Amino acid sequence: MSSALTSLPALLSPLFTIILPVFGLIFAGYGCRKLNKLGPAAASELNRFVVYLALPALLFDIMAKTPWSMLDQPAFIAAFGIGSAVIFVLTLVVRLMQSRHLSDASIDGLNAAYPNTGFVGLPLCLLAFGKESLAPAVIATIMTVCVLFAVAIVLIELGLQTEKHIGATLTRVAKSLAKNPLLIAPLAGALLSGSGARVPEGAEALLKLLGGAASPCALVALGLFLGAKGEARDTKTTSALVALKLIAQPLLTWWLAFHLFGLPPLWAKTAVILSALPTGTGPFMLAEFYRREGGVTSSTILFSTVLSLVTVTVCLTAML
């Protein structure tokens, strides 16, 4: 215990170093909007760049480089996946019972269950647990940004359809999904990985340039949205979503990882830390892309990121 406490201060400084750029990018967008350096359409247009170019490139690159054999970790996938799924479904059901539209309820489900595994999780796990934790961190990232994201997109598309006949509704949903780059890109990357082929060097450089812009641009777009005037804030809903994300999800994942599935210590600790991360930018991207109300989503991302400095520190203290 004493060695863990001794090593904790050495870890907290890098933790702040990882989190602070997130705030910096958000406030850069916020300042540009408040000073009117970027106009009212900037958040939406920047987000469209992320959805149509940057994020698909990132998702394709991740899946193309991930051997299918690496994903053969059923216990870890179950522990992390069930933890995310329970929080997502619980939030979705509660919001639907509160007469929330299916599309908005799906985004709220992401707000409560979508950890920032890519921007914060990967470097944090590397610092806390070493290179051995990168494998579970990559699996968790794929599950979050590909699987959970895809489920939310399907539900949003279902909610947006106005056809009364179930056959016509499913046909329109299928057509919309078939044209969605956020679903096509990871599927194409997975197929490429399974075929054993490699991305050509020039194409790989292009993917890295575009993919590297996804998180920074999404965070700047979030700041632009927060800087817009007249956006109502639902404090009660935001507080509930933040509590689900930062407290309920890691506690549930802890029980699943350590007690139900009995994961090896490193994999169990990594699952808990990743589930304890603040809400990523994915829900905001979808809220903006589908023109849904974004006040709750933006507030949840911001406040969960701020409060995660405390909650993630507590988790690290318990895990080290």
2: which 2 tokens? 């004493």
**How far is Cα 158 from Cα 84, in angstroms, rounded to an integer?**
21
pLDDT confidence bin for 255, thresholds 50/70/90: very high
Sign of the torsion formed by the C-alpha atoms of 92, 97, 100 and 102: positive
CATH 2.60.120.10 fits 2-319, yes or no: no
The mean of the pLDDT values for the chain is: 87
Q: Residue 205: what pLDDT?
A: 93
Sign of the torsion formed by the C-alpha atoms of 78, 305, 315 and 11: positive
Q: Name beta bridge partners: 115.
A: 279
Residues 82-95 pLDDT 10s? 999 999 999 999 99
Residues 220-250 pLDDT 10s? 998 898 887 655 568 899 999 999 999 999 9
**Which residue is associated with the tokens 């197929």?**
191
**What 3 state SS string does 232-278 have?**
CCCHHHHHHHHHHHHHHHHHHHHHHHHHHCCCCHHHHHHHHHHHCCC
